[in-house]
Structure 1
Amino acid sequence: MTDTGAEVDRRVGEAWARIEAGLGRVLPSSLRQLNAPAPAPAIDAVEAALATTLPPDFRASLRIHNGTNPGPTLPSAEPSPVPLTNLCGTDEIIELTRMWHDSHDPEPEWDDPQVWAHLVDTKMLCLNGPVRPIVGAPGTVVVGDLNGDVKWLLDGDPAPGGTPGQVVRVDVECSSWDVLAPSWTELLVRYAEDLTLFAVDPDSSPLTIDASMGPACEWGSTPWVAWGTRPAWLRDVASRNPYL
């Protein structure tokens, strides 16, 4: 048994096997971007550098693939295997998480559920799921990136109803925060299922895949027509207009 437990390892390993099988059917050339496993000391170094504890299933995932590597040129010569430029390897997790935390600028007048409720109501902010829209929040770890514009985070301090370790897609420029899955394992399973569906019936899959670029980064994001709907945890919060 590994330090994460045999059952966690099994589920993560099965999810990755399904993803690789799906990619083999729809984007076989992208498989070369999947990195080799990360050694345990490199994973431990992430936790030490960021003073955090990574979820066991994410540690297990790094021991299968230490992120992805698009190569030396952007755009990459090959399609991405994920709806991002890349999943972060251990070194990138440290670097990008530190940069993300450095952008944190506490604003008590704005970091307020009442203000978030107003911004959601007026379609200035999209919150899909139990996530607090705080840029650079200390309780987050960056695990995926799209050219610095879109990030995937492990959220250690979710809003009420959320799960520590949930995976959040953040597009700061578009003010969009979407909980993709309650855990890393469930994210991998969701992606595997959507890849399988795309291989069978592309029109029915939530994925949009370009043969030269890979999956579109919008996977898991909220369509504009659905903006303006509060998540359950904000439903009964009185709104406050911060501009008044």
Structure 2
Amino acid sequence: MTGPGVDVDTRVAEAWARIEAGLSSVLPASLRLLNAPAPAPAIDVVEAALGVALPPDFRASLRVHNGTDPGLTLPSPEPSPVPLTNLCDTDQLVEMTRVWRDNHHPDPDWDDPQVWAYLVDTKMLCLNGPVRPIVGSPGAVVVGDMNGDVWWLLDFDPAPGGTPGQVVRVDVECVSWDVLAPSWTQLLVRYAEDLTRFAADPGTSPLEIDHHVGPACEWGSTPSDFWGTRPAWLRDVQPRSPHT
């Protein structure tokens, strides 16, 4: 049951139930890595520590599964239930967001839409969607990662046309930024649908799943044809080289 009359908790619980059903079909061992619910006070501590109000649907999600637990060894002996090493629990949300924010080094010569337009044009940066490519942006909360190279963020300072709280995938090594979904609920639904498609016919799903490791982190990555193509919000911006 979905729609405007259904509350946030119900929509999130339904999305997680669909994900768990999909995982039961294609990666049943991964279900053991889904954590138990987080207590509401622990979520309140996250908000206080980071100085943000988490989106209601993300809070609801933590009350279903407080992230994932890959165990003490990497790679994990069980396949991941998500296309990451792990989703953050409440402690990791604070720890990893602080690590992310420590990498913020504002530079007006680079933190400029004109420069971003130039970098996209010259294929030095890939942007898919309304996201500002600022590493360490204080307007983001880290919600998961893949070995410290690929990050999932809740983006509270989107580019024009974006939605505060949108979910962004950042591949630091490949210099690509991809808006995965406008909200956490929509991300969960997207993932549930792709798991269902994989269970029915792997060739029709954008997921690539290794039954020993889990879904590949490239799920939701920027397709190669986005390289050199500006997102709509940068389309009319005059490019400027940061080197001149």
Q: Which segment drifts farther, 33-42 or 215-224? A: 215-224
Establish whether residue 145 from structure 1 lines up as the match of residue 145 from structure 2: yes
Residue aligning to 2:98? 98
* 1:241 positional shift: 1.1
Residue aligning to 2:48? 48
Establish whether residue 72 from structure 1 lines up as the match of residue 72 from structure 2: yes
Query: Cα deviation per residue 1:202-223 (whole Å; 9 max; x = unaligned)?
Result: 0010000001010000000112
Residue aligning to 1:38? 38
Residue aligning to 2:180? 180
Query: Cα deviation per residue 1:48-74 (whole Å; 9 max; x = unaligned)?
Result: 000110000000000000000001110
Q: How does 1:54-203 map to 2 (within 5 A)?
A: 54-203=54-203
Identity of paired residues, percent? Answer: 79
- Equivalent position SS for 1:12: helix
Residue aligning to 2:210? 210
Q: How does 1:16-35 map to 2 (within 5 A)?
A: 16-35=16-35
- Equivalent position SS for 1:218: coil
Q: Matched residues in 2 for 1:224 and 1:191: separation?
A: 21
- Any gaps of 5 or more consecutive residues in structure 2? none
Q: Matched residues in 2 for 1:157 and 1:55: separation?
A: 13
One-letter code of the match for 2:211? A
* Aligned length in residues: 240
* 1:6 positional shift: 6.4
Q: 1:6 to 1:48 in 2, by over 3 A?
A: farther
Judge conservation of contact 2:170–2:176 (CA < 8 Å) in 1.
Answer: yes
TM-score (norm. length: structure 1): 0.97
Q: Matched residues in 1 for 2:166 and 2:77: separation?
A: 32
* 1:181 positional shift: 0.1
Instruction: List structure 1 runs of 4+ shifted beyond 4 angstroms.
Output: none
